[in-house]
Structure 1
Amino acid sequence: MAQQFMGPETLALELRAALLDGVKLGAGVTLDAGDVACAFYGDAFIEPGTRSSDLPPWNEYDVEDGLEAELLEAWFRRAAEIDDGVDPWDEEGTRGLVGYAASRALLSRWVRGRLNGLAQARFFQPVSERMLIGELKQVRRYLDEPPVWQAARASVAAEVGPETRVIVAHSLGSVVAYEALCENPDWPVTDLVTVGSPLGLPVIHRRLSPLPVEGRGAWPGGVVRWTNVADPGDVVALVSELGTRFESGPGRDGVVDRGITNGARMHDFVRYLTALKTGSAVAAGLRGLNA
């Protein structure tokens, strides 16, 4: 999320180096830079032909009822659980979402209380209020707007070639990668490595494509191994263990969940990529061995 002002090569400069380091440190495997491609879909969230220099002046009145409000609530609740600086008993917070849809004014008051609470959370300290609202809107747009999810999944498909074996996906990108793999079971990808993933978060999980059956999501296409890496302090990876949330593929062992600690930057993609457990999972996919 929030990479719409970047581009595939700009992102790859940092992410490719981090992935190469993680694989080398985690498994002693040396890769060439040309072995790694970066799928970019940030431009799916902006008007074609533009590169706005700033975000709209969003505030509590711009958070929509439904998915955006539900996701805001989920982030707030998790932040309150793990961060003593967030008060879960603020005046608006004790009432919950019930009834707010009936009144725009009440919904806006409730949103303002949640935004004020998250402003105190260490996790959200580097994020401005407008950026946070923008992230809520990007998740909602990906899940609800066909042109956006089609463009995002196409960006992944464009980088998958006959020699592609491993997809490493972070944050909303893990939803994009998962759904793209489900759509393309004939891809040669054997390993999916998700990091900082919201795939288990109920507000997202129940909207996945294909839809979950009896609470369990489909196995992602032809993937043989799926490793999920999460920092318990990562608010986005609210449900840090995915093993019980997804079916196992035919002859597969299911999702392997691994916990790590990223320090103060719990959701940072680079820290996830340089983690030894991430590197060893990627290397296992390249070798065709169990992690």
Structure 2
Amino acid sequence: MAPVVLVHGIFNHVRGATPEQAALRRGADCRPKLTEGFAEARLTVGAPQLVVAYYADLLRVDAPKQAQAAGDDASFEDLTSVQRGHAAEWLAAAGAPVPQDPQNVGLAPLRQMLGWLFGERGGHLVGAVREQTMRRVERAIVANLREVEAYSSWPERRRLVRERVAEVIRKERPAVVVAHSLGSLVTYETLHAFPELEAELLVTVGSPLRVPSLARRLDPGLRGGRGAKPVGVGRWVNIADIGDIIAIPPKLGEVFPVDFEDTCDNGLGFHSFGGYLANGLVASAIAPYIS
């Protein structure tokens, strides 16, 4: 048994590896980052052993090309008209001005909206660094939209992903589950679908649960505009980077029954799982549960 289970988000498919091999590889990548976080928080206890619940391969089995994860060259141009509308909703939720005709969002408005956000949030970024960072955000939005579609549009795949994650949690019986990005949506649904699963602490990081196009697809759906805490979860902590456009709006507590939430600043690693794990806030949340 491992005291901590990690549920990954986008950009985690390991080509040519079995799910078991991929989970071990991702775990080997994550543990040094969590060790950094424990050192940053100056904790006397060392970073715990962890296991990754790996499911990225299931989002590719028999999936159409449009549902595959975004590659290095993925951009807004690769989205369908419906997905472009979802991307516009996403950027508007982050604070970008809504186009005059939101029902017919073209490619140019998406980049204009993203550029406006960087003018407001990333004014300190200039030149090539600004362009590279905007490109990374564009790729992340495209990848999230595609993987959410791959996960939620095919009921059988959704079931398989949930069962895979549930199997890991059931086997490891962790005190803590840390879910990142799309993994927070997967974990939320999995813990609701398998109410016998328990975790003393659920930590969501970089979570897009409040993004309109994702929130509409939740199972169970929101009731009266509110989400519910899975019955097996003791405490729920949410942490979002101040520059993480994927985690918008950053305060989940306005919609979900989060017990504690805070923001951090991971610099240019604003949405990376490693950036969050290396942050002392995450370590401080986990430490009391891993004696």
Residue in 1 aligned with 2:161? Answer: 152
Residue in 2 aligned with 1:280? Answer: 284
| Conserved? CA contact 1:167–1:193, under 8 Å | yes
What TM-score do the two structures reach when normalised by structure 2?
0.76
Match of 1:227 among 222, 228, 237: 237
Residue in 2 aligned with 1:163? Answer: 173
Higher relative contact order (CA 8 A, sep 6+): 2
Structure with the largest fraction of helix: 2
What one-letter code is carried by the residue in structure 1 that aligns with 2:239? Answer: V
Structure with the largest fraction of strand: 2
What one-letter code is carried by the residue in structure 2 that aligns with 1:144? Answer: S
| Conserved? CA contact 2:69–2:146, under 8 Å | no
CA distance in 1, matches of 2:237, 2:80: 33
| Conserved? CA contact 2:137–2:245, under 8 Å | no
The more displaced of 183-192 and 149-158 is 149-158
CA distance in 2, matches of 1:135, 1:246: 20
Q: Tell me the secondary structure at the aligned position of residue 194 of structure 1.
A: strand
Over aligned residues, Cα RMSD in angstroms?
Answer: 3.1
| Conserved? CA contact 2:140–2:246, under 8 Å | no
What TM-score do the two structures reach when normalised by structure 1?
0.76
* TM-superposition CA deviations, 1:105-127 (whole Å, max 9, x none): xx5xx134314654795484353
Deviation at 1:54, TM superposition (A): 8.8
* TM-superposition CA deviations, 1:133-176 (whole Å, max 9, x none): 34321122222222332232223122212531110011001111
The alignment-based identity, stated in percent, is 29
Deviation at 1:59, TM superposition (A): 6.3
Residue in 2 aligned with 1:28? Answer: 44
| Conserved? CA contact 1:2–1:135, under 8 Å | no
Task: Show the 5 A alignment for 1:217-256.
Answer: 217-247=227-257, 254-256=258-260
| Conserved? CA contact 2:241–2:266, under 8 Å | yes
Q: Tell me the secondary structure at the aligned position of residue 101 of structure 2.
A: coil
Task: Show the 5 A alignment for 1:149-228.
Answer: 149-160=158-169, 161=171, 163-228=173-238
| Conserved? CA contact 1:196–1:229, under 8 Å | yes
CA distance in 1, matches of 2:183, 2:261: 18
Structure 2 vs 1, CA of residues 236 and 96 (structure 1 numbering), >3 Å: closer, same or farther?
Answer: farther
Match of 1:111 among 107, 110, 115: 107
Residue in 2 aligned with 1:84? Answer: none
Deviation at 1:56, TM superposition (A): 10
Q: Tell me the secondary structure at the aligned position of residue 262 of structure 2.
A: strand
Match of 1:96 among 101, 105, 109: 101
Structure 2 vs 1, CA of residues 29 and 57 (structure 1 numbering), >3 Å: closer, same or farther?
Answer: closer
What one-letter code is carried by the residue in structure 1 that aligns with 2:215? Answer: H
What one-letter code is carried by the residue in structure 2 that aligns with 1:259? Answer: T
Larger Rg: 1
CA distance in 1, matches of 2:101, 2:52: 40
| Conserved? CA contact 1:162–1:188, under 8 Å | no
| Conserved? CA contact 1:262–1:272, under 8 Å | yes
Structure 2 vs 1, CA of residues 182 and 222 (structure 1 numbering), >3 Å: closer, same or farther?
Answer: same
Deviation at 1:128, TM superposition (A): 8.7
What one-letter code is carried by the residue in structure 1 that aligns with 2:222? Answer: P
Deviation at 1:205, TM superposition (A): 1.9
CA distance in 2, matches of 1:174, 1:265: 18
CA distance in 2, matches of 1:218, 1:257: 16
CA distance in 2, matches of 1:56, 1:30: 36
